[in-house]
Amino acid sequence: MLPLVTATRYVTPLREGGSLPGIVEADDLGTYVMKFHGAGQGRKALIAEVLAGELGRRLGFRVPDQVIMELDPVIGRHEPDPDVQDLLKASAGWNLGIDFLPGSLGFDPLGWRPDPEFASRVLWFDAFIGNVDRSWRNPNMLVWHGDVWLIDHGASLYFHHAWANAARLFSGPYDVDDHVLTPWAKKLADAEAELLPKITEELLREVVRLVPDRWLESESGFDGPDAVRDAYAALLAERASKPRDWLPELSLGDRRPPLGGSDTSRRPRANRPDWLEGPA
């Protein structure tokens, strides 16, 4: 399991997040972005954060450290916002803390152009975990000390919202057109050659063991937390065995048409900024 710390001070809500995460101090003297099991997406968003984030870390991406945070709602008693008060009351117990990166800036392709290797690795990884939340509207990457950090993976692994149909939901092609790094992802074949061999059964089981039992024990249709862990590991292993099912166009970066091109095999994106149609 991830390290366990106790929240000691609720500092402020982060209102740009739809689930209203908050900046919280802990008894290990760290400052974290806390994501709450009482938020709209519930504990499954926290599970996805842990599994996707820790898998990404083991594949070589920069991901802020994660901890389990014990929350006593009384620490927010002076917070004037009633919505925050309600969220804290609904989230007593174990939540997820993600290391706060002070002074970090949101990734902006207009100010920092990614190299093809990095763009390809991130896109391939997001396709593998089914991350639908790294679009040009919301890149979910931070620039900190000159490096790019991947954050906010709660929308990944969407199959666990419907376990009865999980295999079917997680087998379709990934929508590369909506990914912020698609225009620069010219080396997906190289990215796959690097990353895919690292996704072993041992690695997947190591990652699923990091999710605490109490987030898994109430899952309908499963005989306990270990059965849920086995299901996550099995689905991810199955996905790793069939990469052409979910990312068939390994050379997409080289074959994207110029702005105004007529490749009808790619679905047009309404309101997509011109600068995302290709690298400058």
pLDDT of residue 252: 53
The two structure tokens encoding residue 145 = 């000390």
pLDDT of residue 15: 75
DSSP lists the bridge partners of residue 6 as 70
Contact (Cβ atoms closer than 8 angstroms) between residue 226 and residue 211: no
Neighbours of 53 (CB within 10 A): 27
Residues of the chain with pLDDT under 50: 253-280
- At 169, the amino acid letter reads L
Contact (Cβ atoms closer than 8 angstroms) between residue 279 and residue 113: yes
Look up the pTM and report it.
0.88
Tokens 């990469």 locate to 243
In the chain, where do the E strands start and end? 4-13, 22-26, 31-35, 66-71, 93-99, 105-106, 141-144, 147-150
Measuring CA to CA, which residue among 228, 273, 175, 251 is closest to residue 43? 228
pLDDT of residue 275: 38
pLDDT of residue 77: 83
172: left (phi over 0), alpha (psi -120 to 50) or beta: beta
Mapped onto helix, strand or coil, the DSSP state of residue 241 is helix
pLDDT of residue 256: 42
Distance CA 85, CA 123 (A): 37
pLDDT of residue 181: 94
The two structure tokens encoding residue 42 = 């519930």
pLDDT of residue 111: 76
Residue 138: phi and psi, rounded to 5, are: -150, 80
pLDDT of residue 112: 77
CB-based contacts of 271, cutoff 8 Å, min separation 6: none
pLDDT of residue 162: 93
Contact (Cβ atoms closer than 8 angstroms) between residue 7 and residue 71: yes
